[in-house]
Structures are given as structure tokens and as C-alpha cells.
Structure 1
Amino acid sequence: MQNTATLGTLNDQVIATDFLIAAKNGIKSYAMAITEASTPEVRDTLKQHLNDAIQLHEQISEYMVNKGYYHPSNVQEQLRIDMQAAQMALQAGNLQ
């Protein structure tokens, strides 16, 4: 049986990862919207939102790196972390 601390860490990691993915998708969406905007005012507004989304992504990434959940410059370590999280998720699913 998984201990509570392990499942709590997994939950924090899963939430942070989902948040990071959402921030990345937001960045892509704002960038695409800027190319489709018809007026300078709309483009300026979208650029500000894009900058805010980039800052949010940076904050989430920094949090995840500090917690040891994310290793953007070490692919092997990131793969190990991802595999461990996937294994924990599978085990947690089997407990239900």
C-alpha cells in the first residue's frame, strides 16, 4: 500500500505538471491569436496576455525544478521522474 506522503507528492507533481502544460498551451494560443488579430489594439492586448503567460510558465517551471519534479536540461533524469510518476499513478489506480 502507498504511504500518504508518496501519494501527496504525486498529487502535487501531477497538479504542477498539468498547470505547466496548460501554461504552455496558453502561450501557443496567444501567439497564434496575435497572428490572426485584425487591429493593433487587439494585438497589443494579446501580447500583454502572452507576456503574462510566459511569466506564469517561468514561475511554474521554477517551482517544479525546486521541488525536483522537472528537469528541463537533463532528459535522462526527466525520463526517470516521468516513469516513476507513471508507475505511482498505475499503483494508485490499482488501490481503488
Structure 2
Amino acid sequence: MPLNLSHTAPTLIIRKSAFERAGLTRAQFDEALNLTPDEFRVEGELIAVGPLVGEDTATDLIAQLEESGLAYFDDFFELSGNWPEWLRLFAMDARTPGSAS
């Protein structure tokens, strides 16, 4: 099922395999960001973290992911949340069964 993405703030999309390879945990994210269940979602091979509020939250999280050995674009990326309210965006791993490749 596709992940609905917020238009109000950035969301980081992380490949689940990269997240696991780096030894990251949901608890680490909760401790650092105090996330609600709706701000850390896993669907298929994707993890969506956000919307991330605060001016430096996304930038700081990107730096932490890179320090963990993840590569921007190959392992994760930021969707800005900067689009009009009338547009809804959804994310889905291209290799998820039933999705277009």
C-alpha cells in the first residue's frame, strides 16, 4: 500500500534494507525525534519518517543517516513537503508486487 506524504513539512523516505544494514532502530528515531506512530511508517520496502517539523530537523537527520553509512539518493531521500494542498503524493517501492516498475 502506498504511503501518503505530507505537503506541510519534509518527509524522509528510507529503503528498509539500508535502514537495517546500518543497524538503525525505530527506538533511536523515537528518542531523537519523539515521533508519533504516524510519523514513522513502514510499508513494504520503504520507511517514511515525517513530516519533520522544525527548521533543522530534516537537515540534522540527513547528516545522521550519512554518518551511519547511508548514501543520499541511493539509500534515502527527502521529499520537501513543498507542494500545494490540493495535490496528494504517495510513495511506493518500485519492486513491490503489483506496482509499476
TM-score for both structures, normalised by structure 2 = 0.27
**Structure with bigger RCO (C-alpha 8 Å, 6+ apart):** 2
TM-score for both structures, normalised by structure 1 = 0.27
The structure that is strand-richer by fraction is 2
Instruction: Select the structure of larger CA radius of gyration.
Output: 1
